[in-house]
Amino acid sequence: MQTVPIIANVKPIKVELEAGKNYFWCQCGLSQSQPFCDGSHAGTDIKPLRFTAEKTGAAGLCQCKSTANAPFCDGTHATLGELNAGDPAPVPKSEVPVAIATPEEPTVARIHELARDGLSKLGHHGEMGSMGVPRKDLPHWDDIQILPAQMARKPLLDDVPVRTSVTIGPRAEKPLKLDIPLFVSDMSYGALSEEAKTALARGAQLAGTGICSGEGGMLPEEQAENARYFYELASAKFGWKPELVERVQAFHFKGGQGAKTGTGGHLPGEKVQDKIAEVRGLEPGQSAISPATFIDLHTPADFKKVADEVRERSGGIPIGFKLSANHIEDDIDFALAASADYIILDGRGGG
């Protein structure tokens, strides 16, 4: 005698129900009139489930026979793995519907989570995802058309040395020279490990170029590995102390970044521990919240005042602005009015 239901199908079925009408949902999985009973349970130890439709309309009824919300689908079919129709149906794990995203109800898990926890686990900014743009969606080097010289500008012969250096802030009192026109951009300690930050700093130093602190504060071990160090000051001013500029070679304000502009940021408290908390100037377990903009700096004159203080204390290092490519002309005008020596335009994938 059959005592365990079998899987009739690994997907729910959409049916039209009529309010007040009684239906018999097949629990054994043998019915040829799924999802309703056709009497095939005879000879088994399983009986159909009688239910009355509460309202008229479409409903998704379970065919995997493992739902914890019979007769309705609760998404359990998405957890069946390699099980197929005809296999024994797993026993429902809970009387509470299991919230699992399915093609039919892609947001059900999120709805259950919000109903249970509110924003306590998501944070006040709501759901967060990884920053950046998938590599396949970004321009490739092959998309760049190089215009070679020929007559008006003559090409160089093979034995002519090529200079690749670039000077950051050539009009500053202490310009910063890089041997190559590339540097390791702003990535915070906390987003990257100490090992990654120090390794990148050391590699950049060997390549004759610089690295930036990122908005999470200056990691001393990273700064010690590189003599072309950029300090980034963002809206939250994590770990900011004016005396830090005496140890760096360039300084810039963060206006935005390519993958996330004008929204601020949130590093959950569980990630702000030990040294990360120390570098950011926070208590262990305190969430690191970056406001959408500087709270105390508004006009070009406000930024210029800080820039001049940095110049005086550092002996004249270059002062810049990191901007994402949005209102480019207006933002560049703002940066120039604030006495910028250099401007970083962050590309679409810059996270």
The per-residue pLDDT for range 126-158, each reduced to its tens digit, is 665 556 666 677 777 788 888 999 999 999 999
Residue 124 pLDDT class (50, 70, 90 cuts): low
Q: Which amino acid is at 63?
A: Q
Q: What is the pLDDT of residue 183?
A: 96
Q: How far is residue 69's CA from residue 60's CA, in Å, rounded to a whole number?
A: 11
Q: What is the mean pLDDT of residues 179-192?
A: 93
pLDDT reading at 97 higher than 60: no
- Site of tokens 């309705």: 72
Buried b (16+ CB within 10 A) or exposed e, 55-77: eeeebbbbbbbbbbbbbbbbbbb
Beta strands 22-25 and 342-346, pairing class:
unpaired
| Residue range(s) in the chain whose domain bears CATH number 3.20.20.70 | 157-346
For residue 126, the model assigns a pLDDT of 64
What are the residues whose beta carbons fall under 8 Å from the beta carbon of 257, sequence distance 6 or more?
Answer: 131, 186, 322, 324, 346, 350, 351
123 pLDDT band, cuts 50/70/90, is low
* Token couple for 287: 């969430």
Average pLDDT, the chain: 90
C-beta atoms surrounding 300 within 10 Å: 17
Q: What letters, b where the CB count within 10 A reaches 16 and e where it falls short, cover 81-96? A: eebeeeeebbebeeee
Task: Please give the average per-residue pLDDT across 281-293, as a whole number.
Answer: 94
The residue assigned the tokens 């959950």 is 268
User: Considering all CA atoms of the chain, what is the largest pairwise distance in Å, rounded to the nearest integer?
Assistant: 94
Task: Please tell me the predicted confidence (pLDDT) of residue 271.
Answer: 87
Instruction: Give pLDDT tens digits for 204-240.
Output: 999 999 999 999 999 999 999 999 999 999 999 999 9
pLDDT at 104: 72
| pLDDT score at 90 | 92
Say if residues 318 and 231 touch (Cβ distance below 8 Å).
no
Nearest-angstrom CA–CA distance, 282 and 276: 8
Percent of the chain with pLDDT over 90: 72
pLDDT at 317: 99
Interior angle at CA 265, CA 200 and CA 184, nearest 5: 20
Distance CA 339, CA 316 (A): 12
Q: What is the DSSP string of 221-262?
A: HHHHT-SSEEEEE-TT-TT--GGGGGG-SEEEEE--BTTB-S
Does residue 193 register a pLDDT over 90? yes
Q: pLDDT tens, 228-278?
A: 999 999 999 999 999 999 999 999 999 988 777 888 888 888 889 999 999
* Cα–Cα distance measured from residue 138 to residue 129, given in angstroms and rounded to the nearest whole number: 18
Q: What is the mean pLDDT of residues 183-189?
A: 94
- Lowest mean pLDDT: which of 8-17, 94-103, 116-125? 94-103
Mean pLDDT of 290-305: 97
Amino acid at 330: D
Architecture of domain 157-346: Alpha-Beta Barrel (3.20)
Q: 266 and 122 in contact (C-beta within 8 Å)?
A: no
Amino acid in position 66? S
